[in-house]
Amino acid sequence: MNTLIGSGVVDKAIAREAIEDDVDAARSARSATVRALQHLLEVLDGRRAAAHLSRWVAADVVEELSSRLRRPSPDASAEAGRLIRVHLQMHGRDCADYFGTLQRGTRVRAVAGRIVRAERPPAVPATGGRSRPSWTIVELTIV
């Protein structure tokens, strides 16, 4: 069934498919953000090397994080950090701003940044694998 909008005709099935694509993109972005931030907490706690973040976090962010980890943290805690809350604000299907809270010991901190979906080369280029879109954190702030 078609609906008349303005001077054009819009097919409801096409509109519904576009909305479903937007919802799928938001779910995918949130899932990738949560996964990346959980790995980030493992790096901050010393349970994982910063190099392991390269799958989910842009190289310049990993480099900055690595340089900061060389200095001892004043709030270092024996307790593992945990992600409390994550929210996203989508900017199209391939970009989102995220914000949330994380806890390390008794300290609760805010985390915010941007995650984008872009084509990434295959993990092993020699295998002839195709590049595929994946979500990558390109901006990160912990307050």
The pLDDT tens digits for 112-136 are 999 999 886 655 555 566 667 899 9
Average pLDDT of the segment spanning 28-33? 96
Q: Tell me the average pLDDT of the chain.
A: 83
Pairing between β-strand 107-120 and β-strand 95-104 as defined by DSSP bridges: antiparallel
Q: How many CA atoms lie within 13 A of 69 on its CB side?
A: 18
Considering only residues 21 and 114, tell me which one the structure prediction assigns the higher pLDDT: 114
- How many whole angstroms from its chain centre is CA 128? 27
Instruction: Provide CB contacts within 8 A for 92, sequence distance 6+.
Output: none
Write down the pTM of the prediction. 0.77
Average pLDDT of the segment spanning 10-27? 82
Q: How far apart are CA 94 and CA 115, in angstroms?
A: 8
